[in-house]
Amino acid sequence: MRNTASYLRVITITVLAFVFLELTIESSEEWAFMEYPIIWAVLGILLVFGIAMEVVLASITSVLFRSLTPEAQERYLQQQSLRKKNRFAKLKAFWKKMNDSKPVEEEEEIILDHNYDGIQELDNNLPPWWIYGFYATMVFAAVYLVRHHIFNAPDQKEEYIAEVASAKKAIEEYKKTAKDLIDVNTVELLTGEEDIKAGSAIFAGNCVACHKEDAGGGIGPNLTDDYWILGGGIKNVFNTISEGGRPGKGMVSWKTDLKPGEIAQVASYVLSLHGTTPADPKEPQGDLYVDENAPIKEADVEVSADSTSIEVMMEDQAVEKEFEK
Domain coordinates of the chain in residue numbers?
Answer: 4-87, 193-288, 299-325
For the chain, the maximum distance between any two Cα atoms, rounded to a whole number of angstroms, is 137
With beta carbons less than 8 A apart as the criterion, state whether 196 and 269 touch: yes
Radius of gyration of the chain from its Cα atoms, rounded to whole angstroms: 41
Give the pLDDT confidence score for residue 321 in this predicted structure.
43
Q: How many whole angstroms separate alpha carbon 191 and alpha carbon 185?
A: 18
Give the pLDDT confidence score for residue 108 in this predicted structure.
76
Q: Which of 177, 201, 208, 322 is nearest to 269 (CA)?
A: 201
pLDDT one digit per residue (tens) for the chain, 325 residues: 567 788 888 899 989 998 888 888 887 777 888 888 888 898 899 999 989 998 898 889 889 988 989 899 888 888 888 888 887 888 888 888 888 877 777 777 777 777 777 787 877 788 899 999 999 999 999 999 999 889 989 888 999 999 999 999 998 888 777 777 888 888 889 899 999 999 999 999 999 999 999 999 888 899 999 999 988 899 999 999 999 887 777 788 999 999 998 999 999 999 999 989 999 999 988 889 887 765 555 545 454 545 455 454 544 444 444 434 3
- Beta-ladder partners of 313: 300, 318
Q: How many whole angstroms separate alpha carbon 73 and alpha carbon 181?
A: 70
In angstroms, what CA-CA distances link 48 with 13, 43, 273? 11, 9, 64
Give the pLDDT confidence score for residue 9 in this predicted structure.
87
Give the pLDDT confidence score for residue 119 in this predicted structure.
81
Q: Which of 273, 250, 267, 251 is nearest to 183 (CA)?
A: 267
Note the pTM of the prediction, 2 decimals: 0.45
Q: How many CB atoms lie within 10 A of CB 58?
A: 14
Q: How many CB atoms lie within 10 A of CB 149?
A: 9
Q: Which of 148, 278, 139 is nearest to 220 (CA)?
A: 278
Superfamily of domain 193-288 in CATH is Cytochrome c-like domain (1.10.760.10)
Q: How many whole angstroms separate alpha carbon 264 and alpha carbon 181?
A: 11
The one-letter amino acid code at 20 reads F
Give the pLDDT confidence score for residue 113 in this predicted structure.
78
In angstroms, what CA-CA distances link 229 with 62, 244, 251, 305, 318? 83, 12, 11, 47, 31
